């Protein structure tokens, strides 16, 4: 297998927790303590009151960002943070799929191969016995896999296989080097999701072929392997114990070799996508306007709005992956509300972050949060209080901020024409 020649041990960089979410982003902004907004939480938000009365077990972190527009409609951001700590590890779960998708689009734009687009057929082959190939995708209109279709599945229902295929395309070196270049230095992506593979296997990547409309080979990537070892330098342990192959291990679970994405970095990925102009060229994702609009459109679309892939709304209701504001029993979302978000859930952690828009009332804001609901603090026992605590908390948090924004005085109302154009375009 072809090996990269980069021999480094990845080291995560940190800034003081109090400064992380405001100053790491390198944008002009005001920073405030979120606690000042919690003094007025009424009894109609019982789970907010419960969690904020005793926050320690839930390890809650929140970044709420107000958006105010000037006379040229340029956004200006003001941050409110709650308990944000860049050094405290939480498992990011599927939230890492968003930067993977954006980096895949970046990679494609760099290839400069005629006829190579996001819709080009992307065959994944297998070079090792444990690897799996992907030559068919029954959920696509063409029955063939492509980068565009993988990204759709990631954004609609957080499809693991779709994300793993893009991970195999990029490899650890490129993913982590590009994130660091953009200032997202508290992120680390080292493995496929929902697969039981060793660290070495996660450093080995499938061969990939891109096939043109006339069946000709446009681009081929051989089997590749990373020599670099990417591991969390800072402490990355969780829980008081965990279940491993049916056995209880009486010690914290070690996440040193697992993915990491701090809340400020996750929030920063979303902001780089929504408002790239607020970041330097180096910090932006190098996306074409078409690619950016493609991602935003599918981030906000609901499973019921998709023909390819098509989803059974009984299993994938509209609020399936819209935790902030709408977590809970299956429900429809109001037509005037659009949420451009990504979620993740694993090991008792529930994370959600997005750009929230009310087109009718001209409201817009960012909200990103993570909560840990695992009363016994044992991982892998499937005894998590997701429905009892996490869902109602995130639902109430999103609605509390939304109601606050509805009543917040804004000298200039935002012009959301561009957003309306993006979501109105045919899929």
* Measured distance CA(21)–CA(234) in Å, rounded: 18
| pLDDT per residue as tens digits for the range 193-236 | 999 999 999 999 999 999 999 999 999 999 999 999 999 988 89
Question: Which residues, 6+ apart, have CB-to-CB distance to 251 below 8 Å?
Answer: 240, 241
- Chain centre to alpha carbon of residue 65: 17
* Measured distance CA(103)–CA(82) in Å, rounded: 29
* Measured distance CA(159)–CA(150) in Å, rounded: 8
* Measured distance CA(343)–CA(63) in Å, rounded: 15
Name the band, by pLDDT with cuts 50, 70 and 90, for residue 401: very high
Domain boundaries, the chain: 2-424
User: Is the peptide bond between 309 and the residue preceding it cis, with omega within 30 degrees of 0?
Assistant: yes
Q: What is the mean pLDDT of residues 361-387?
A: 97
Q: What are phi and psi of 218, to 5 degrees?
A: -90, -40
| pLDDT per residue as tens digits for the range 284-324 | 999 999 999 999 999 999 999 999 999 999 999 999 999 99
What pLDDT was estimated at residue 426? Answer: 58
Tally helices (H) and strands (E) across the chain. Answer: 10, 19
Predicted TM-score (pTM) of the model is 0.93
Question: Whose CA is closest to 397, among 76, 75, 96, 60?
Answer: 60
Question: Whose CA is closest to 258, among 349, 161, 193, 185?
Answer: 193
Name the band, by pLDDT with cuts 50, 70 and 90, for residue 427: low
SS3 state at 349 = strand
Q: What are phi and psi of 352, to 5 degrees?
A: -150, 140
CATH of domain 2-424: 3.40.710.10
Using only C-alpha atoms, the chain has a radius of gyration, in whole angstroms, of 21
Which of 2-16, 29-43, 89-103, 139-153 is the least confident region? 2-16
């Amino acid at each position: 297998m072809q090996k990269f020649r980069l021999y480094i041990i990845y080291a995560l960089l940190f800034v003081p927790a109090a400064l992380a979410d405001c100053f790491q982003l390198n944008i002009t902004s005001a920073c405030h303590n979120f606690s000042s907004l919690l003094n007025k939480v009424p009894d109609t938000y019982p789970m907010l009151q419960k969690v904020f009365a005793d926050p320690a077990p839930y390890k809650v972190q929140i970044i709420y960002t107000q958006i105010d527009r000037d006379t040229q409609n340029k956004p200006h951001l003001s941050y409110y943070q709650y308990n944000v700590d860049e050094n405290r590890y939480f498992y990011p779960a599927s939230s890492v799929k968003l930067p993977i998708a954006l980096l895949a689009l970046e990679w494609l734009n760099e290839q400069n191969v005629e006829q190579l687009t996001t819709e080009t057929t992307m065959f994944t082959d297998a070079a090792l016995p444990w690897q799996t190939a992907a030559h068919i995708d029954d959920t696509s209109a063409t029955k063939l896999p492509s980068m565009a279709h993988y990204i759709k599945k990631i954004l609609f229902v957080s499809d693991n296989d779709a994300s793993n295929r893009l991970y195999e395309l990029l490899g650890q070196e490129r993913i982590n080097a590009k994130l660091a270049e953009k200032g997202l230095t508290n992120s680390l992506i080292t493995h496929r999701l929902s697969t039981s593979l060793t660290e070495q296997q996660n450093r080995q990547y499938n061969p990939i072929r891109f096939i043109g409309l006339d069946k000709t080979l446009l681009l081929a990537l051989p089997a590749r392997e990373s020599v670099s070892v990417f591991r969390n330098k800072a402490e990355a342990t969780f829980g008081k114990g965990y279940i491993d192959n049916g056995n209880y291990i009486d010690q914290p679970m070690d996440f040193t070799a697992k993915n990491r994405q701090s809340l400020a970095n996750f929030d920063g990925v979303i902001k780089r996508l929504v408002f790239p102009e607020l970041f330097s060229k180096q910090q932006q994702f190098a996306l074409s306007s078409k690619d950016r609009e493609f991602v935003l459109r599918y981030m906000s679309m609901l499973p019921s709005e998709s023909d390819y892939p098509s989803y059974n709304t009984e299993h994938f209701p509209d609020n399936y992956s819209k935790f902030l504001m709408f977590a809970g029993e299956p429900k429809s979302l109001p037509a005037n509300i659009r949420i451009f978000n990504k979620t993740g859930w694993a090991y008792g952690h529930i994370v959600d972050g997005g750009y929230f828009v009310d087109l009718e009332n001209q409201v817009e804001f960012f909200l990103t949060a993570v909560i840990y609901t695992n009363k016994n603090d044992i991982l892998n026992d499937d005894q998590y209080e997701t429905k009892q605590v996490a869902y109602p908390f995130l639902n109430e948090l999103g609605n509390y901020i939304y109601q606050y924004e509805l009543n917040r005085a804004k000298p200039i109302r935002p012009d959301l024409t561009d957003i309306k154009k993006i979501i109105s375009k045919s899929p």
